[in-house]
Amino acid sequence: MNYIVVGTNRPESRSGQIAKVVQQLYRAQGESVEILDLQQLDLSTLTGRQYWQDQPAQVKAWVDLISQSRSLVMIVPEYNGSFPGVLKYFIDHWKFPDSFESRPVSFIGLGGRFGGLRAVEHLQQVFAYRNAYLFPERVFFMNCSKTIVDGQINDPVAMDLLQLQVKNFSRFVAALESAGLDALSVAKHRAKGK
């Protein structure tokens, strides 16, 4: 399964609204894709625990979905010049290297004047450091308080780029798979080698 990660837990976030549009675009071209919206993840259950041991059931279930994902589409708003802290907190509970290495990841940003550029670039650093495959075509939604309203996106340029990203990211993932380079293929080869 491919997953779209909504990188904030803010209720009724614009990131969540974009996720639904992105999901429809992927489904329209026959891809299976589900949304993981941080608003639905109770991170308070993690307080006082070790990061990788004894994870609460819901967190463990989400971390397992990430580790077993075919690809990830990260949707990140800009909060104080970066991606939301709650997203980093979630990522810090992912399994290493399983969640990151060789996983194809694409990025969508949203914010004010710069459309979440800093948020996306900071997040790209995290995934690059952890050896994921970063898809280079990024999409940014600028002035999002005006251009994303009630689930509608009123930014034709960003929508065109989004459609292109969806099409080309699907091809990117398929190309990695056919070469046996994606995370799921690598995990299979490792399991056979044991």
* Positions that interact with ligand FMN (CB under 6 A): 8, 10, 13-15, 77-81, 110-112, 114, 144-145
Question: What is the C-alpha to C-alpha distance for residues 75 and 173, in angstroms, rounded to an integer?
Answer: 18
Residue whose CB is less far from ligand FMN, 54 or 150: 150
Closest CA to 104 of 76, 137, 78: 137
Residue whose CB is less far from ligand FMN, 16 or 104: 16
Q: How far is the CB of 77 from ligand FMN (least distance, A)?
A: 3
Q: How far is the CB of 10 from ligand FMN (least distance, A)?
A: 4
Question: What is the C-alpha to C-alpha distance for residues 95 and 116, in angstroms, rounded to an integer?
Answer: 26
Residue whose CB is less far from ligand FMN, 5 or 176: 5
Helices 183-193, 156-178: axis angle to 10 degrees equals 20
Q: How far is the CB of 169 from ligand FMN (least distance, A)?
A: 20
Question: What is the C-alpha to C-alpha distance for residues 66 and 184, in angstroms, rounded to an integer?
Answer: 11
Q: How far is the CB of 171 from ligand FMN (least distance, A)?
A: 28
Closest CA to 70 of 95, 103, 99: 103
The β-bridge partners of 152 are 149
Residue whose CB is less far from ligand FMN, 55 or 106: 106
